[in-house]
Amino acid sequence: MSELSYVLLFFAGFAGGLIDSIAGSGGLITLPALMAVGVPTHLALGTNKLQSACGTSLAVWRYYRAGLMQTPALGWGVLASFCASAFGAWAVSLVSQEMLRLLIPWLLAAVAIYTAMNRRFGLTAGVQRMGHLAFALTFGMILGAYDGFFGPGCGSFWMLALVALLGMDLRNATGYTKSVNLASNLGALIFFLFAGQVHFASALAMIGGQMFGARIGSGLVIDKGSALIRPVFLTVVFGMTLKLLWDAWG
């Protein structure tokens, strides 16, 4: 690849890290960027997991220090996400993604519409409707496997579930989401590394941008809280929904 390609990947990593640390789904930027500069699809998936894990690690550390990871049974959610994502990454080589490709945009559209219509969504703590351990294990397995297998919108599904079922505000839900996302990134990454499906030069170009973007984004979340997260979350989910609908049905 040319030097310009690596410069573009750096800025794509920055944008992805910034968005991902605030509202999730930074892969909407980074994965297409890798493919646009000529990285083959199977290598792009593994490379995206590596660079994303680096930026997410920084965000997780900052959220931990800010006290946003004190939810009971969070460790079980992390463990379940890690194990399930490794299985999902293995399963992607065996099962067609066509059904998910057609279905996921409509699920994301439902998330976006629900969030937009509920004006108080995640601005303050709500009512807990599910036990912490049951939630961690159930969604850790389901969304962890989904992230390893396919991925788009995983962070958005976590945020919705945390607000709706655990009654969390968006600020604390972001901290929880980043920790389980890091676990699922690492679980899938291990499989991709053993399969030789990581383009290290491209990953290194993106990691610098990812770390920079994640630092700025996590700082904004800690300082501004739910009032910032909600509009960014809605923008990201609507944008991702439109892109995936176009890819699947356009």
| Average pLDDT of the segment spanning 71-83 | 94
User: What pLDDT does 202 receive?
Assistant: 93
User: What pLDDT does 162 receive?
Assistant: 93
User: What pLDDT does 230 receive?
Assistant: 75
In 186-233, the DSSP E strands lie at none
Full-model pTM = 0.82
User: What pLDDT does 20 receive?
Assistant: 82
Burial class of residue 109 (count of CB atoms within 10 Å of its CB; 0-12, 13-18, 19+): middle
Does residue 171 surpass a pLDDT of 70?
yes
Residues 211-232: pLDDT tens digits? Answer: 999 899 888 888 877 677 778 7
Does residue 115 surpass a pLDDT of 70?
no
Measured CA to CA, the distance from residue 96 to residue 77 in angstroms comes to 27
Measured CA to CA, the distance from residue 206 to residue 84 in angstroms comes to 26
Query: CA-based Rg of the chain, rounded to a whole angstrom?
Result: 17
User: What pLDDT does 32 receive?
Assistant: 80
Name the range with the highest mean pLDDT among 89-98, 120-129, 194-203: 194-203
Q: Which of 102-116, 138-152, 216-230 has the least mean pLDDT?
A: 102-116
Measured CA to CA, the distance from residue 108 to residue 239 in angstroms comes to 10
Measured CA to CA, the distance from residue 221 to residue 234 in angstroms comes to 15
| Average pLDDT of the segment spanning 232-240 | 76
Measured CA to CA, the distance from residue 232 to residue 120 in angstroms comes to 15
Name the range with the highest mean pLDDT among 37-46, 114-123, 132-141, 152-161: 132-141
The residues, any chain, with a CB within 8 Å of residue 61's CB and separated by 6 or more, are: none
User: What pLDDT does 100 receive?
Assistant: 60
Q: Pull the structure tokens for residue 8.
A: 């573009």
Contact call for residues 85 and 145 (beta carbons, < 8 A): yes
Does residue 180 surpass a pLDDT of 60?
yes
User: What pLDDT does 104 receive?
Assistant: 63
**Domain segments of the chain: what residues?**
3-249
User: What pLDDT does 119 receive?
Assistant: 66
* C-alpha 37 chain-centroid distance: 22
| Average pLDDT of the segment spanning 143-164 | 84
Measured CA to CA, the distance from residue 152 to residue 26 in angstroms comes to 9
Does residue 208 surpass a pLDDT of 70?
yes
Instruction: Provide the b/e sequence for 223-233 (b: ≥16 CB within 10 Å).
Output: eebbebbbebb
